[in-house]
Amino acid sequence: MISSNQKRMTRQRLIILEELRKMKNHPTADDIYSAVRGHLPRISLGTVYRNLQTLAADGEIRMLKHGGRMRFDSSLHRHYHVRCLACGRIDDVPGSAVKGLNEGILEKSDYRIIGFKVEFTGICPDCRNKGKEVAIEKETLEDFNILEDNND
């Protein structure tokens, strides 16, 4: 049943959602547009983008914003991401890799915790294989806990 805030699941919206669910790489609207055009050759990029916004507003997908770039995630279960600093690719981090990351915060803080966001950063395998590296400015590093060459 559709709530009063949710929009009807049109054929276009359903195809966009199905194509997004096939992609595991957190695609951009352009990536989804390219995939959807195989089913709907006359669809415009604007229509795809508006439908993605509607799907996100309806809680069907997540929008991942970083800088001026928007990516989309069809996985709604609690999980973390790793983002390539060279190309912007985003992948899911296996739950076993971050087991216990958010446990105990309620007991160790006086805050009423509402939520949190964790994102790992690095260079993806494709960029590493192509020899791509990123000049990381000192100001950028101040936002991260650096794991490489750490003597702690």
Compute mean pLDDT per 10 residues along the chain, 152 residues long, and list them.
64 96 93 97 96 95 85 89 87 79 76 82 89 63 57 43
Long-range interactions of 4-10: CB distance < 8 A, separation 24+: 5/57, 5/58, 6/58, 7/54, 7/58, 10/51
CATH number of 77-144: 3.30.1490.190
| Domain range annotation of the chain | 8-74, 77-144
The predicted model scores a pTM of 0.72
pLDDT of residue 149: 52
Decide if 8-74 and 77-144 have a common fold. no
pLDDT of residue 150: 44
pLDDT of residue 2: 46
User: In terms of CATH architecture, what is 8-74?
Assistant: Orthogonal Bundle (1.10)
